[in-house]
Amino acid sequence: MSRIRRIAAAVSLLDGAWGVVAGVFWVSLFPSTQHLNNGGTDYAMVIVGALLMLDSVLCFMGFSGAYYVSALISVLMLVFVPSGIQLDSLFLISVLLTAITVVLDALAANSKDYILERDHPLNLPLFG
């Protein structure tokens, strides 16, 4: 697994964990918002964060298609971040972490693990 794929999987895991924490502690983290607030816990944010954490495990296992899914789930997480013009630090952290996750997942999905021709196992030595 390439370095960019490991980094993207780790950041996806972090973003998913942040989504779960933000969903569970919604009122204490974002006291000025009522967006999708359901008795103090935003269940949609918790579910999306948990899905992102599960998908990051698939990314760690080496499934290249999981990076596309991770990017889509991260974009979906932006929908559940409190809306409105807010410039508090936790809101900016949520948006920044999700944006970084989307970019890294897009880069990781397009990166390939190439084997040099000289190191390829089917490359037989030529005897002249």
pTM of the model: 0.77
Q: Show me where the domains of the chain are located.
A: 3-113
Q: Say if residues 70 and 105 touch (Cβ distance below 8 Å).
A: yes
Question: Facing residues of 41 across strands?
Answer: 38
pLDDT score, position 14: 94
Structure tokens at 58: 């698939």
Dihedral sign (CA 32, 37, 43, 44): negative
SS3 50: helix
User: For position 103, what pLDDT does the model report?
Assistant: 94
**47-103 pLDDT tens trace:** 899 999 999 999 999 888 899 999 999 988 887 776 554 556 777 888 889 999 999
Q: What is the DSSP string of 69-104?
A: HHHHHHHHHHHHSPPSS---HHHHHHHHHHHHHHHH
Place of tokens 């989504």: 19
* Both tokens assigned to 17: 């964990």
User: 41 — phi, psi (to 5°)?
Assistant: -125, 130
Q: Which two tokens stand for residue 47?
A: 């579910």
